[in-house]
Amino acid sequence: DAGVIQSPRHEVTEMGQEVTLRCKPISGHDYLFWYRQTMMRGLELLIYFNNNVPIDDSGMPEDRFSAKMPNASFSTLKIQPSEPRDSAVYFCASSFMTGKSQYFGPGTRLLVL
Amino acid sequence: DAKTTQPPSMDCAEGRAANLPCNHSTISGNEYVYWYRQIHSQGPQYIIHGLKNNETNEMASLIITEDRKSSTLILPHATLRDTAVYYCIVGGGADGLTFGKGTHLIIQP
């Protein structure tokens, strides 16, 4: 398996633009997680899905952030409009069943100017 | 806030065993202990997890005290590639992970 795939790997955009981050989980995994990492706040859970259904989105910073999982093999995290404070590395992870390990993607490095 | 306490940094000589401690005194009965690591500029990598019993895999061993209030991750023969931030996390398994600051392990040649 190729592991968790994220795209793009790097994104540079201007404040106010819409940003869409993409994730393909490992085939067969039924949990998908979105995390954000910054120097100031470390790694934070934003939202997670089970069987394509959002379970906990309490970590989503504000209404500018939204996440979808239209099918078992694809998820998006959208920021609209983007702001400089959204600059971070965004990781997607997937896992199979409860109590099991999460496998992280390589991350998307987002810079909002 | 993270439910674990780890030293911010540790050094270990290459070839030696690296023993990383973690305190989790408020762990509840159904919570697992997970260890992940993050090598610079990469995504976190799962290492090992356990509930009550000690666990071993090809990467490391996990020793959990009988009262489950602390644990130790052991890398038996550390190499330079093991230099990373190591995170000890407790959780129920179905939820997302709550990362603390971790321990920055530096393997010295």
Q: What is the mean pLDDT for each group of 10 consecutive residues in chain A (113 residues)?
A: 92 97 96 95 94 94 94 97 97 82 95 98
Predicted confidence at residue A2, as pLDDT, reads: 81
A80/A63 Cα distance (integer angstroms): 9
Report chain B residues touching chain A, CB-CB < 8 A: 32, 34, 42-46, 49, 51, 87, 92-101
- Strands B45-50 vs B32-38: parallel, antiparallel or unpaired: antiparallel
pLDDT tens per residue across span B26-74: 998 888 999 999 999 899 999 999 999 899 999 999 999 999 999 999 9
Residue B63's contacts (CB-CB under 8 Å, 6 or more residues apart) are B54, B71, B72, B74
Q: Which positions in chain A touch B86 (Cβ < 8 Å)?
A: none
Which residues on chain B are in Cβ contact (under 8 Å) with A48? Answer: 95-96
Query: Checking DSSP bridges between strand B55-56 and strand A108-112, what pairing results, if any?
Result: unpaired
**What's the rounded Cα separation, in Å, for the pair A89 and A82?**
14
The amino acid present at B63, given as its one-letter code, is I
- Write out the DSSP string of B73-86: EEESS--GGG-EEE
A-chain CB neighbours of B45 within 8 Å are 104
Tokens of residue B63, six digits: 């020793």
